[in-house]
């Protein structure tokens, strides 16, 4: 453990009166996978990922040549189209299944003599 990790751990351990909450999204410790504590500030794993994603996007936008960004966007759009096709197929399947179940004659209760 490096000194910074020990400091973070110490801060997290000293203030245990109330449940820890993420200082960014307000979620409680019990509602997220992990909360990292800094001096008087906490951040949950979800907010960390969000920040990383934002930083990553900034970096992609500034470092990637225009042509590459365009092809990345095209790939993303292609992926979304695939998802939409899948979704509409699922909706159709679900509709067919519902109709099939509705058309099915109802089972009669078994009578015992």
Residues near Zn ion (CB under 5 A) are: 22, 24-25, 44, 47
Question: Which CB sits closer to Zn ion, 6 or 54?
Answer: 54
The dihedrals phi and psi of 102, each to the nearest 5 degrees, come to: -70, -35
**CA end-to-end span of the chain, whole Å?**
76
Question: Which CB sits closer to Zn ion, 7 or 29?
Answer: 29
Minimum distance from CB of 39 to Zn ion (Å)? 17
Give alpha helix (H) positions in 1-113: 3-14, 45-63, 66-103
Minimum distance from CB of 1 to Zn ion (Å)? 24
Question: Which CB sits closer to Zn ion, 20 or 44?
Answer: 44
Question: Which CB sits closer to Zn ion, 34 or 69?
Answer: 34
Minimum distance from CB of 45 to Zn ion (Å)? 8
Q: How far apart are CA 4 and CA 39, in angstroms?
A: 11
Residue number with the smallest Cβ distance to Zn ion: 22
CB contact at 8 A, 46 and 29: no
């Amino acid at each position: 453990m490096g000194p910074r990790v020990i400091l973070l751990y110490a801060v997290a351990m000293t203030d245990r009166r109330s449940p820890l909450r993420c200082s960014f999204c307000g979620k409680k410790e019990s509602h997220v996978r992990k909360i990292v504590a800094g001096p008087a500030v906490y951040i949950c794993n979800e907010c960390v990922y969000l920040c990383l994603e934002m930083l990553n996007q900034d970096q992609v936008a500034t470092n990637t040549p225009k042509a590459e960004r365009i092809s990345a966007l095209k790939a993303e759009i292609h992926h979304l189209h695939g998802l939409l096709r899948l979704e509409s197929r699922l909706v159709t399947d679900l509709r067919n299944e519902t109709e099939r179940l509705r058309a099915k004659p109802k089972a009669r209760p078994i009578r015992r003599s």
